[in-house]
């Protein structure tokens, strides 16, 4: 997680350095990015309570909460792609076309974050399948779930940071 954090620190620093050079396109953040921010916050809440329910051996509620978290993760990704569509429709593309590179930075940084979310979603889907196929609970170790939960909270907080960073640097 430290290396991911450093990578995004580098990308956001490059954003600020390039913005200071001028030729910067100002645009409105896509509505889908706003919605996805609330979805990712909700997913942090559900995975927190899923972990708590697992530790309390309340497996029916745990299964529901981990399933909801996986669905929210997939919804986040869909909303991100919808946000990319909104940006493209507004003329903010990955290629700068001589109108500034602010859109390119948002595209690249968001896509890199989305790739990290994909890793978390894949892990959630594996947990979802495992939970729903397992008949008996032979092991009660929460270690794997806690690691997944920590990673999930990390990428959630990272998105909130990036979203706020983009919002505060629109001018």
Give the pLDDT of the chain (171 residues) as one tens digit per residue: 888 889 888 888 888 887 787 776 777 888 999 999 999 999 999 999 999 999 898 989 998 999 999 999 999 999 999 998 998 888 777 775 555 677 788 888 888 998 999 999 899 888 878 777 766 556 677 788 899 999 999 999 999 999 998 888 876
Query: What pTM was computed for the model?
Result: 0.86
Angle at the Cα of 133 from the Cα atoms of 77 and 150, rounded to 5 degrees: 45
Domain map (residue ranges) of the chain = 28-168
Choose among 113, 122, 36: nearest CA to 76.
Answer: 36
Cα 158 versus chain centre, distance = 7
CATH number for the region 28-168 comes to 1.20.120.80
């Amino acid at each position: 997680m430290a290396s991911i954090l450093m990578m995004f620190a580098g990308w956001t620093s490059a954003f600020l350095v390039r913005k200071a050079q001028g030729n910067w396109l100002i645009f409105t953040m896509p509505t889908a990015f706003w919605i996805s921010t609330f979805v990712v916050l909700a997913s942090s809440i559900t995975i927190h309570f899923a972990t708590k329910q697992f530790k309390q051996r309340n497996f029916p509620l745990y299964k529901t909460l981990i399933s909801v978290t996986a669905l929210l993760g997939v919804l986040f990704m869909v909303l991100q792609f919808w946000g990319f569509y909104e940006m493209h429709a507004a003329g903010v593309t990955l290629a700068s076309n001589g109108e500034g590179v602010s859109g390119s930075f948002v595209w690249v940084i968001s896509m890199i974050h989305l790739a990290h979310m994909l890793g978390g979603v894949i892990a959630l889907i594996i947990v979802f399948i495992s939970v729903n196929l397992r008949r008996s609970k032979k092991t009660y170790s929460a270690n794997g779930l806690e690691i997944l939960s920590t990673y999930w909270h990390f990428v959630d907080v990272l998105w909130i940071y990036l979203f706020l960073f983009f919002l505060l640097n629109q001018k």
